Amino acid sequence: MAIDTPYRAIFCDLWTDTTLDILPLKDVSFEDYIGRAGSLSGTVPIPDRTIAERAHRIKPGRTTVYLERGGDLWWGGIIWTTNLQSSGRGVLTLGIQASTFDSYAARRRIRTNDFESVYSQPTDQFTIARGLWGSLSAGLGTSKIDIGDPEELSGILRTGSWRYGDETGYQEALDQLGAQGLEYQIQVYRNPDDGTRVRRLKLGAPIRTGATDVLFDRPGTILSYSIPDDATRGGTHALARGASTNGNAGTESRPTLSDIKVPLTPLPDVWPQIDLSSDHNEISDKATLNALAQTEVDTPWGSVQIPEISVRLDGIVPPTLLGRTARIRITDEWHPTGLDARFRIVGVKVRPAERGRPDTADLALLER
């Protein structure tokens, strides 16, 4: 039975990246983000015993899936769960839930002494991130993640110390760097020379791609939009709490505290004081805590706007959008003189074309 789908779903062994099979995938929805894992869901139709035997090779935690369309890899990640279902009429499907390769960091703990003191002195944050991802990648067998050029540096120095036995998650360590402005993404693409699949770590502070703006208009390419304005997520004063100091006998142990930080760029209007607080139990260096508090109050100061637009893809390959600058032009009742603003694309959620519906994507945006 032929299944009409615009995608090739390539299922591979996680340990070796060897192709296991190519199967149809229906009801697909997938997303990708800068700095956090994206997800994919879909169902493999099982119309006969032959397909069932092939689908048996899909093993959660050991299998990857790549979505390919028109020769381009649109998405790649690890299958973490499957769900075999039979309808009342006996129709079988295998549902899959996968996450981008970034999600592997959430399944690993730092169980080595390599990170206890090596970054105790100020070190470029790209070097620290590559060290963490290099250690992570060693658990993926022969299909390791390319951690990039070690000579590429950000010029921003950080410190970090993660001890064996503390059971610190790699994701937690990366989030500590992310709270200070580091961004990362695991890119998936084909090597233009030999067509092999590549999984490569991209770093930025922040990540920016593309030399030109991507233009979206309403009326036009923009199908719908939302601009939430949330004053519960922002603030005007921030304090970061770190590791507790060992008190003397009879002295209470207290956490290391940053200075109270306010936005480096003054708020455009008069605001009441709204306090932000964050905990970083592995950090005892006050300078690092100061940097964390400063980043926290500078990023979501005042109220937080994270616009989202729904657009027609019109031939744009989604992975190429992350990090690009989007120029948004909207004219409607709320913007009678026209909105013309630039944002950075930090998230893409795709709804593939099915049953005559065009490819569309929801784009998560941040001010440049």
Which amino acid makes up residue 182? L
Binned at pLDDT 50, 70 and 90, residue 316 comes out as confident
Q: Is 97 helix (H, G, I), strand (E, B) or coil?
A: strand
C-alpha to C-alpha distances, 205 to 39, 62, 323, nearest whole angstrom? 23, 32, 11
Distance CA 94, CA 79 (A): 12
pLDDT in tens, 81-91: 999 999 888 89
| Residue 280: count of CB within 10 angstroms of its CB | 22
pTM of this prediction? 0.85
Distance CA 187, CA 101 (A): 9
pLDDT in tens, 170-205: 999 998 888 778 999 999 999 888 888 999 999 998
Q: Long-range contacts: 45-52, Cβ < 8 Å, 24+?
A: 45/1, 45/3, 45/92, 45/93, 46/92, 46/93, 46/94, 47/1, 47/92, 48/1, 51/23, 52/92
Which of 48, 285, 298 is CA-nearest to residue 180?
298
Mean pLDDT of the chain: 88
Distance CA 92, CA 1 (A): 13
